[in-house]
């Protein structure tokens, strides 16, 4: 019996073992499938109760006006969304989130890919030590990292301004978190420092999964190191890139902790993001309907960007 015939016999026997004499699925196996599904039910219930229900409730409440002083919601239709469209702080917050997303894509996706590729290509022998070094900031919580940079940015005793004075650039020293033109950018810098190592480590794992035979073949063809990174590494980590882009952009529109710790949206609302402005509207101004509308806008933006990215990634998927 040939190899193909043996394989066919095994496959055929496996198929017939799963079905009854009439070719239909065995009742006992069907019961086993339902038992397997029962293990998933608790998780589905938790997701439905703590994720989807609050999401739908938030969208519903965004069409009402209510607060702690007015516990009975009053239906106002799209007035909360109209208020957001006319709110300059809302647009400033949206701009800050977009800037946050763009910078994060440059550093946490493009920059992390370049670093991981260089480490895995040129310094593989000491790659473990380097990965541990640039992953350390990611092990620090956002709150602690925010407080750390809050003291680094201090205008008089902060490490950054002291360094500028020591190297003769004291003219550039100023209150980084106290000026409208630099507050949000100082927060973005802190966030990139804290998250960069994590995405670089994920890229390192993805690069290590690429078959070494591809790189060996490139060496035989005389392909340079940078060309290998561009033509082999970059295409074959595209699925990881898709995941990191979605996570990075989604995270950029859900920023909250670092802004609250470092500036609380100040000075003069210059560093507000949608998350902090949502909190301000709901828990300081007691405009819960308006806050729900802002949250709905954040949800729509993140879902739309994720769908577009998944669609683009599926059209350009690489099989290997």
- The fraction of the chain above a pLDDT of 70, given in percent, is 87
The pTM score is 0.82
* pLDDT for the residue 99: 95
C-beta of residue 251 within 8 angstroms of C-beta of residue 104: yes
Residue 6's pLDDT band (boundaries 50, 70, 90)? very low
Angle at 46 between CA 42 and CA 47, to 5 degrees: 120
* pLDDT for the residue 3: 42
- The burial of 15, by beta-carbon neighbours within 10 Å (0-12 exposed, 13-18 middle, 19 or more buried), is given as exposed
pLDDT of 109-160, one tens digit each?
999 999 888 888 777 666 678 778 888 888 888 889 999 999 999 988 889 9
C-alpha 284/C-alpha 281 separation (Å) is 6
pLDDT of 256-307, one tens digit each?
999 999 999 989 999 999 999 999 999 999 999 999 999 999 999 989 988 8
* pLDDT for the residue 129: 81
Residue 255's pLDDT band (boundaries 50, 70, 90)? very high
Angle at 56 between CA 55 and CA 62, to 5 degrees: 90
Q: For CA atoms 167, 168, 172, 177, give the dihedral sign.
A: positive
- The burial of 72, by beta-carbon neighbours within 10 Å (0-12 exposed, 13-18 middle, 19 or more buried), is given as exposed
CB atoms within 10 A of CB 176: 23
C-alpha 63/C-alpha 65 separation (Å) is 7
Pairing of strands 70-75, 64-67: antiparallel
* pLDDT for the residue 315: 64
pLDDT of 16-56, one tens digit each?
444 445 555 555 465 566 777 788 888 889 999 998 999 99
* pLDDT for the residue 117: 87
Helix axis angle, 127-135 relative to 183-208, nearest 10°? 150
Helix axis angle, 288-315 relative to 238-252, nearest 10°? 170
CB atoms within 10 A of CB 11: 10
| Residues in CB range of 260: below 8 A, 6 or more apart | 276, 279
- Among 310, 307, 282, 308, which Cα is nearest to 294's? 282
Res 13 pLDDT > 50? no
pLDDT of 75-90, one tens digit each?
999 999 999 999 999 9
Backbone angles phi, psi at 107, to 5 degrees: -90, -45
């Amino acid at each position: 019996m040939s190899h193909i015939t043996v394989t066919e016999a095994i496959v055929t026997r496996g198929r017939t073992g799963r079905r009854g004499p009439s070719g239909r699925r065995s009742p006992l196996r069907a019961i086993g499938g339902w038992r397997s599904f029962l293990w998933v039910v608790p998780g589905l219930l938790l997701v439905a109760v703590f994720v989807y229900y609050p999401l739908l409730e938030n969208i519903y409440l965004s069409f009402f006006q209510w607060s702690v002083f007015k516990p009975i919601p009053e239906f106002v239709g799209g007035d909360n969304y109209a208020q957001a469209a006319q709110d300059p702080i809302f647009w400033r917050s949206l701009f800050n989130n977009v800037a946050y997303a763009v910078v994060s894509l440059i550093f946490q996706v493009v920059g992390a890919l370049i670093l991981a590729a260089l480490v895995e290509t040129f310094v593989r022998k000491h790659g473990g030590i380097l990965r541990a070094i640039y992953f350390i900031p990611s092990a620090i919580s956002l709150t602690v990292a925010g407080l750390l940079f809050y003291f680094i940015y201090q205008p008089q005793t902060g490490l950054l301004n002291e360094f500028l004075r020591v190297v003769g650039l004291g003219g550039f020293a100023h209150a980084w978190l106290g000026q409208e033109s630099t507050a949000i950018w100082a927060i973005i810098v802190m966030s990139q420092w804290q998250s960069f190592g994590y995405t670089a480590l994920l890229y390192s794992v993805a690069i290590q999964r690429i078959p070494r035979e591809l790189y060996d073949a490139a060496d035989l063809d005389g392909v340079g190191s940078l060309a290998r990174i561009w033509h082999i590494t970059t295409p074959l980590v595209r699925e990881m890139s898709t995941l990191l882009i979605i996570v990075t952009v989604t995270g950029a529109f859900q920023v909250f902790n670092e802004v609250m710790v470092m500036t609380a949206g100040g000075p003069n609302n210059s560093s507000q993001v949608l998350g902090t402005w949502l909190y301000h509207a709901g828990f300081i101004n007691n405009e819960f309907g308006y806050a729900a509308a802002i949250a709905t806008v954040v949800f729509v933006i993140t879902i739309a960007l994720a769908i577009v990215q998944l669609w683009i990634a599926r059209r350009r998927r690489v099989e290997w």
